Amino acid sequence: MSRIGKLPITIPAKVTVERKDNVITVKGIKGELSQEVDPAITVDVKDGILTVSRPNDERQNRALHGLYRALLNNMVTGVSEGYRKELELVGVGYRVTNTGNILDFALGYTHNIFLQLPHEIKVETKSERNKNPLIILESADKQLLGQVCAKIRSFRKVEPYKGKGIRFVGEEIRRKSGKSASK
C-alpha cells in the first residue's frame, strides 16, 4: 500500500469538497481549485475526511494513488491557508517593480523584462536600501506558483562564482572557487 496514498486528508472547517464525475472541486477562503482524477482512483468524502483508494496493485494504479492524494492535499491546504514564495534578486543594479500583476525586471540586459502574472497570483515587491530586492508571490494553487517562480528564476539563473541571480530567500548556493584558488 502506498504510504502517501493511504493517509487521510482532514478537511478544515471552512473548506468544501465536491465530486462530480471524475472532477474534484475544492472551495475555501483563498479561492477555488479543481482537479480531474483518473477513473480508476476512488475519492470518498465522509465526516470531514477525504480518502483516496485504488482498485488493485497494478503499477499504474499505485503511481496514481499517491499522486492524486498529494494533489488533493495541496488543493485543500491551498484554499485554506494558501502558499507563499519569496524570491530575492542578488546583483548590482538588479531591480524589480510591479504594476498590478505585471512585473518589470532590470537584470543587467539591454532591455527590461516584463512578465504578466496570472490573476490567481498576488504579487508584492520590496526594495529597501542596502538590501536585495524581494518578490513575494502568494496563491492558492501550489503548482501554478511553482511554475511562475521557475519562469522568473529562468531570467537570471544563479551563477556559482559570485552568487548573482534570482533565488529563493534562504536558498543555499554551492559556490565555486575561481582560478586564483588553485595557486
> Which CATH number do you get for residue 53?
3.90.930.12
pTM, 2 dp? 0.89
pLDDT of residue 5: 86
The number of distinct structural domains making up the chain is: 2
Residue 111 Rama label (left phi>0; alpha psi -120 to 50; beta): beta
Coil, helix or strand for 138?
Answer: strand
CA 96 – CA 88 distance, rounded (Å): 10
Q: Are residues 100 and 162 in the same domain?
A: yes
Half-sphere exposure of residue 94: CA atoms within 13 angstroms, side-chain side:
22
pLDDT of residue 4: 85
Where among 65, 80, 95 does a domain terminate? 80
Q: Are residues 76 and 61 in the same domain?
A: yes
pLDDT of residue 109: 93
76, 109, 165 from 88: Cα distances, Å: 28, 18, 8
State CA 170 to chain mean position distance: 16
Q: In which domain, by residue range, is 57 found?
A: 9-80
Coil, helix or strand for 150?
Answer: helix
**Residue (of 152, 45, 140, 137) closest to 89 by Cα position:** 152
Where among 80, 104, 136 does a domain terminate? 80
Which grid cell sits at 129?
536600501
Question: Is there a domain that residue 159 lies in?
Answer: yes
What angle separates helix 142-154 from helix 59-80, to the nearest 10 degrees? 90
- Provide the sign of the torsion angle of the four alpha carbons 128, 130, 131, 134, taken in this order: positive
Question: How does pLDDT run along the chain (183 residues), one tens digit per residue?
Answer: 578 888 999 999 999 999 998 899 999 999 999 999 999 999 999 999 999 999 999 999 999 999 999 999 999 999 999 999 999 999 999 999 999 999 999 999 999 999 999 999 999 999 999 999 999 999 999 999 999 999 999 999 999 999 899 999 998 889 888 887 666
119 burial via Cβ count (<10 Å: 0-12, 13-18, 19+): exposed
Q: Residues 80, 30: contact at Cβ < 8 Å?
A: yes
Question: Is there a domain that residue 107 lies in?
Answer: yes
Q: Are residues 66 and 119 in the same domain?
A: no
**Size of the chain in residues:** 183
pLDDT of residue 1: 58
Q: Residues 93, 106: contact at Cβ < 8 Å?
A: yes
DSSP designation for 120: T
Where among 46, 80, 114 does a domain terminate? 80
pLDDT of residue 180: 78
Q: Are residues 74 and 97 in the same domain?
A: no
